[in-house]
Every structure is written in C-alpha cells, then in structure tokens.
Amino acid sequence: MEEKLGKEEIGVVKKTPSPYDLNSNDNPGNLITQVQLKGENYDEWSKAIRTSLRARRKWGFVEGTIEQPKEGSSNLEDWWTVQSMLVSWVLNTIEPSLRSTISY
C-alpha cells in the first residue's frame, strides 16, 4: 500500500518560449544596450546588439534563420510585429547623426 506524506503533486506546464513572444516590458523605445554606434566602434556595438538579441531569442530574425512566413500564414503578423520592434531597438542604439543616413 502506498503511503502519502501530505505532499500533493502539482502539475507544472512549462511553455517553450517562442521567438515571436514579446513581453509587456518590450516596447519600441527600449534601449537594449548601452553601447551606442558612433561609426568607429562597430565591433563593440555589433557584439552588444547580438548578445542582447540572443538573450531575447530574437537574433534569428536578424541572421535570417527565422524567415518571413508565407502570405496568409498565421505567424505573418507576429513576424512583422517583431521585425518592427527590432528595427526600433537597433535604431535606438545608433548615434542620431548616423541614424539619419540609414535606410531601412
């Protein structure tokens, strides 16, 4: 006979984070790194951006491993939302005089 010791098993459901997930703290005004691109510091800036986006599971959008879904896909709107957020985040880390020269 099995004896219970007063402990109940609680089922825990762990959701695997999706790269499309954005949380309530994510907004277009976020500064995702303190390193600002000034031109001569590209290597430092690119490492900081890459690290920050990897920590947020968003680097795949930049490097192309998370491709744009086909027209009509249920993920297409989410993909565009994340893309727009990424553009904002990256632009926020570029010195204003350089930012005005960038086409996106």
Residue 65 lies in a domain: yes
**Count of structural domains, the chain:** 1
Residue 83 lies in a domain: yes
Residue 97 lies in a domain: yes
Q: List per-residue pLDDT tens for the chain, 104 residues long.
A: 555 555 666 777 777 789 999 999 999 999 999 999 998 999 999 999 999 999 999 999 999 999 999 999 999 999 999 999 999 999 999 999 999 998 87
- Distance between CA 43 and CA 20 in Å, rounded? 27
pLDDT of the residue at 5: 56
Residue 11 lies in a domain: no
Domain holding 56, by residue range, is 18-104
Residue 40 lies in a domain: yes
Residue 5 lies in a domain: no
- Distance between CA 86 and CA 39 in Å, rounded? 20
Residue 95 lies in a domain: yes
Give the residue from 64, 39, 40, 62 showing the smallest Cα distance to 51: 62
pLDDT of the residue at 56: 95
Q: Are the C-beta atoms of 71 and 38 separated by less than 8 Å? A: no
